[in-house]
Amino acid sequence: MVPVASFTATKVRWMKDNEPENMARVAAIALPHDWLMWQIIGAGGTPGAARDLSALATDRSDASGTAYFNSVSGEYDAELFELAAGSGSFERITLPRVLAPAEPAGRTPWGALVGPGAGDNAGAALGLGAAAGDIILSVGTSGVVSAVSATQVCDVTGNVAGFASASGDFLPLVCTINASRILDVACRMLGKSYDELADLALSAEPGAGGLVLVPYFEGERTPNRPDTTATLHGMTLTNTTPANIARAAIEALLCSLADGVDALRELGVDVQRLLLIGGGAQSPATRSLAPTVFGLPVTVPAAGEYVADGAARQAAWTLLGGDTPPVWPLAGAEVFEAEAQPIVREQYAAVRDLV
């Protein structure tokens, strides 16, 4: 895993280089989820009381986001950790023990069993019941393209992060920082509601008359371009209409996600079914235009809180035991199909790197 700015190792190295006096005081490094679980099981102690750092625990999905955990061996990599935190730090600093997918972290002081937890994307995959061949397209403030895989992937470019899943498998993932906010900007530019934006976009032709939006409004995480800005290409006197601008915004969102799907394919990830979720997935235009950009049918599950569903499914698994989580059918899904429109991605590919 390439340690880009979002991973724990990068933050630890920053502290080592910029605040060495604080780094020397660190007794343990844990993610917010780990700390909260530690508090819930009562191991954090009361202010002024002794605290049991050995009770800190995490799960594979969150541990895999540190960049110093090997999700194949199930062990922390001492060499990588010390590259971040400094020589001798692996012995000095406590890291949370990594729980198996359904292994309890402990019990609350009142006796309730506490499951291992999971990262949000791993939780959503579990809640959706995603399996090998499924690609999850999550359109929130950020955009996430993830896949459940039986094997770990390694991407030396850093575009695909080799996370672990909440089910014991792997969750190769691409994350952008611009997704539904693209729709927010388009609504603001045009003075339209989300429904009106969708109607405008659907009234325009594929390719928006040659108008192409590269949507790096606040830089971008994937590709790693933190200092870029958004650009609108191909403007002419005839194509700069509200309908084309709306269409270009929707197509830019979908092209950004499609690039993520391509990145997974290039690493050998099986792509059979696309699952579109998140707030941006509720737009009629996003749903209708998605198959024209991806060239595949797109399944849109009923609107729901799939991360919370994943937490509930994991809780049931922890209580029931067994090698696999209980089967929860995915209800209310709608499949969208449409003829592929290659012009959309061709136009986007021609200008996305002109930054």
Scan for tokens 């012009």, then name that residue.
343
Residue 320, classified by CB atoms within 10 Å of its CB into exposed (0-12), middle (13-18) or buried (19+), is exposed
Provide φ and ψ at 83, rounded to 5°.
Answer: -65, -30
CA atoms within 13 A on the CB side of 280: 30
Note if 120 is an active site residue. yes
User: Coil, strand or helix: which one is 295?
Assistant: coil
CB atoms within 10 A of CB 236: 10
DSSP state of 31: -
Residue 202, classified by CB atoms within 10 Å of its CB into exposed (0-12), middle (13-18) or buried (19+), is middle
Which residue(s) pair with 161 in the sheet?
173
Q: Give the start-end residues of each E strand in the chain.
A: 57-59, 69-70, 75-76, 97-99, 106-107, 113-114, 134-139, 143-147, 161-164, 170-176, 212-214, 231-233, 273-277, 298-300, 334-336
Residue 312, classified by CB atoms within 10 Å of its CB into exposed (0-12), middle (13-18) or buried (19+), is middle
User: Coil, strand or helix: which one is 57?
Assistant: strand
The first and second tokens of residue 60, run together, are 């594979």
CA dist., res. 117 & res. 38, Å (int): 12
In terms of Cα–Cα distance, which of 290, 289, 312, 287 is closest to 302? 287
User: Coil, strand or helix: which one is 176?
Assistant: strand
CA dist., res. 260 & res. 283, Å (int): 20
CA dist., res. 312 & res. 127, Å (int): 8
Q: Of 120, 134, 169, 259, which is the active-site residue? A: 120
CA dist., res. 215 & res. 272, Å (int): 27
Residue positions annotated with a catalytic role = 120
